[in-house]
Amino acid sequence: MRHFGHPEGVAVGAHFRTRLDLLRAGVHGVLQAGISGSAADGADAIIYSDAYEDNVDLGHTIYYPGHGGRSRASGKQVAHQQLTAGTRALLTSLQTGLPVRVIRRVETDTGPQYRYDGLYRVTDLQETVGLSGYGILLFTFRQLPS
DNA sequence: TCCATGCGCGGCC
DNA sequence: GGCCGCGCAGTGG
State the total domains in chain A. 1
pLDDT at position A1 over 90:
no
The average pLDDT across A61-69 equals: 97
Nucleic acid strand B within 7 Å of A30 CB: yes
Nearest to A90 by CA among A37, A30, A32, A29: A37
Residues A122 and A141 sit within 8 Å (Cβ to Cβ): yes
Q: Which domain holds residue A92?
A: 15-143
**Confidence band of A146 (pLDDT split at 50, 70, 90):** confident
- How many C-alpha atoms does A61 have within 13 Å on its Cβ side? 7
Give the whole-angstrom CA distance, residue A25 versus residue A7.
8
Give the pLDDT confidence score for residue A129 in this predicted structure. Answer: 98
What pLDDT is stored for residue A123 in this prediction? 98
**Interatomic CA distance for residues A139 and A144, integer angstroms:** 16
Q: Does residue A10 lie in a domain region?
A: no
Nucleotides of C under 7 A from a protein CB: 8-13
CA→C1' distance for A1 and B13 (Å): 26
Q: Would residue A119 count as lying in a domain?
A: yes
Task: Report the nucleotide nearest the CA of residue A51, measured to C1'.
Answer: C10
d(CA A137, CA A30): 21
Is A9 within a domain?
Answer: no
Is residue A136 a part of any domain in this protein?
yes
A83-125 pLDDT per residue, tens:
999 999 999 999 999 999 999 999 999 899 999 999 999 999 9
Q: Three-state SS for A94?
A: helix
Measure, in angstroms, how far nucleotide C3 C1' is from residue A61 CA: 42
Could you tell me the distance in Å between the CA of residue A87 and the C1' of nucleotide C1? 26
Indicate the pTM of the whole model.
0.96
Q: Is the CB of A11 under 7 A from strand B?
A: no
The tens digit of pLDDT for each residue in A25-60 reads 999 999 999 999 999 999 999 999 999 999 999 999
A2 in contact with nucleic chain C (CB within 7 A): no
CATH number, domain of A120, equals 2.30.280.10
Q: What is the pLDDT of residue A6?
A: 97
Check: CB of residue A89 under 8 Å from CB of residue A38.
yes
3-state SS of A110-130 is CEEEEEEEEEEEEEEEEEEEC
Spatial distance from the CA of A85 to the C1' of B9 (Å) = 8
Would you say residue A6 lies in a domain?
Answer: no
Nucleic strand B under 7 Å from the C-beta of A19: no
CA distances to A7, A70, A120 from A116, in Å: 10, 25, 11
